Amino acid sequence: MSLFSRRYIQKMLNELAVHLNSEKRVDLIRRLDSKRMNQNMPAEMELAVLWSVAQTGDLVIEPEWWSGNRNPDGYSESLVEGKSVIFDITAVSNGSVSQRDDMKKAADRVCQFASSVKKKFGKHLSFYFFEEGALTKRYDKRRVLVKAGYELSKTQEARIRDWIDGRSYETEPIQVHEQGVVFQVSYSKTPHMTPPVNTSMPPECYSLTKNPIYVAMDNKRKQLRGGDTGVLRLIFLADVGADLLHQIGGYIHRSWSPEQTYGPEIIQNFIRRFSGEIDAVVVISAWDTRFRGSRFFGVRSDPNLWKVTVFAADNSKIDWSNIENMFTRLPPPITDANLARQNQGYGGFEPISKIRYRAAQTYQRKEPYLMQLKLSSGALRDLISGDLDPAEFRDRHIPERFRTLIKRHRSISSVEFEKGEPNHDDDLVVLSFEEDPAVKPFE
């Protein structure tokens, strides 16, 4: 499970076929199929942007006639009314801002060592990194307690080996304390595709230029140099797990430290600095509205949505409404980028994934009296094929109410199929139950 279902990704690929040459299509599919999140999620967003631009009426992907430094991602004469637009697409995650890359590398090294002690043990580990405050120029800056290129010491290797061999992992996690590095390792019976890595510290940025958002925009600016004059130059900036982008258009929790900078400030500074080279930066972020709310007002039940924000140079004559509305043609995202990354860590984007099973549902109709049970068709398929354990199927997909139906002398009277929503990879098998003399005493 990522931002789109596999079904919808294939739909976009099919509908873009007239615009994609074979080389570009192979490149997109290769990145979509990658198990690396820095490959498949950016490819998802690139595909979504290209498909959305194509829906406005005109799209040329990687125009070879462009006379700049390299072929841009796309060209359109329908995206902005009365204007020709050349654009590039880039995706940003928290990366170095949150020290997530360093945490991920440290976690990978611990997992490799754990798997050398006990086969595949590293696939069952998750990590939590602690933080500390550092007083700099009279202001407190927070940082995660991790070092670039961290390697386990012999002492910590011995502690982890004892933790595994003594089966202490079944009852308690283990903490690793070294100079400048403090983290906790926990065991889970469920294996992970990639080790989950968390920290108490949110991504914080202290520079308008030394951050992955600015670097990504500057790289695209250089690539869009040259070419025809009078053509608008746009950068699509996709949120694939970048909190600094996810803040845009919503509530920003501001630190008391005046040195901290935020997503809108970084982009506005970039636009002011290069207003003669870049006409607009378009930020695209998936919002999961289920988790927006509070214990006082309740959790919102609105559908998930795409947030598109245009940061433009000072040009009031340009109508950006087509761009602001271009993602309305897409289905709501399955979840936001950060949760999508977590799901991918559990294998949620694999062709066969238990994460994408839909939950069982029960219904009752009074006229005529009828009971219905809706089951995940994917779970039923995997049960029949032997890929899903019968005990797991019973525990996860058969509600207690089903057992009540059997006790009340009801049998399956009909079977129907309920197709899933456009952006979902699972359907429902609908079983209807009615009272049956074959399974009840004579009256």
pLDDT one-digit tens code per residue, 192-216: 877 888 887 777 777 888 888 899 9
The tens digit of pLDDT for each residue in 47-96 reads 999 999 999 889 999 998 887 668 899 999 999 988 999 999 999 887 65
Instruction: Average the pLDDT over 367-379 and give the result.
Output: 78
Query: Is 237 within 8 Å of 283 (Cβ atoms)?
Result: yes
Percentage of residues in the chain with pLDDT exceeding 70? 85
Instruction: Average the pLDDT over 281-303 and give the result.
Output: 63
Query: Is 287 within 8 Å of 336 (Cβ atoms)?
Result: yes
Taking 60 as the threshold, does the pLDDT of residue 325 lie above it? yes
Which range has the worst mean pLDDT, 166-170, 277-281, 394-398?
394-398
| Residue tagged 């202001």 (tokens) | 139
Quickly state the pLDDT bin for 254 (edges 50, 70, 90).
low
Residue 226: per-residue pLDDT? 78
Instruction: Average the pLDDT over 285-293 and give the result.
Output: 69
The tens digit of pLDDT for each residue in 142-171 reads 778 888 888 999 999 999 999 999 999 999
Taking 50 as the threshold, does the pLDDT of residue 300 lie above it? no
Q: How far is CA 119 from CA 41, 124, 313, in A?
A: 30, 11, 56
Residue 296: per-residue pLDDT? 37
Quickly state the pLDDT bin for 347 (edges 50, 70, 90).
low
Could you give the CA distance from residue 238 to residue 306 in angstroms, rounded to a whole number?
A: 11
Taking 70 as the threshold, does the pLDDT of residue 369 lie above it? no
Could you give the CA distance from residue 75 to residue 231 in angstroms, rounded to a whole number?
A: 10
Question: What is the chain's mean pLDDT, rounded?
Answer: 83
Question: Is the pLDDT higher at 406 or at 179?
Answer: 179
Query: Is 98 within 8 Å of 211 (Cβ atoms)?
Result: no
Residue 393: per-residue pLDDT? 85
Query: Is 414 within 8 Å of 424 (Cβ atoms)?
Result: no
Quickly state the pLDDT bin for 225 (edges 50, 70, 90).
confident
Taking 80 as the threshold, does the pLDDT of residue 348 lie above it? no
428-435 vs 410-418, strand pairing mode:
antiparallel
Residue 334: count other Cβ atoms within 10 Å of its Cβ: 23
Contact residues for 390 (Cβ-Cβ < 8 A; gap 6+): 383
Percentage of residues in the chain with pLDDT exceeding 90? 36
Go through the chain and tell me how many residues it has: 443
Query: Is 354 within 8 Å of 388 (Cβ atoms)?
Result: yes
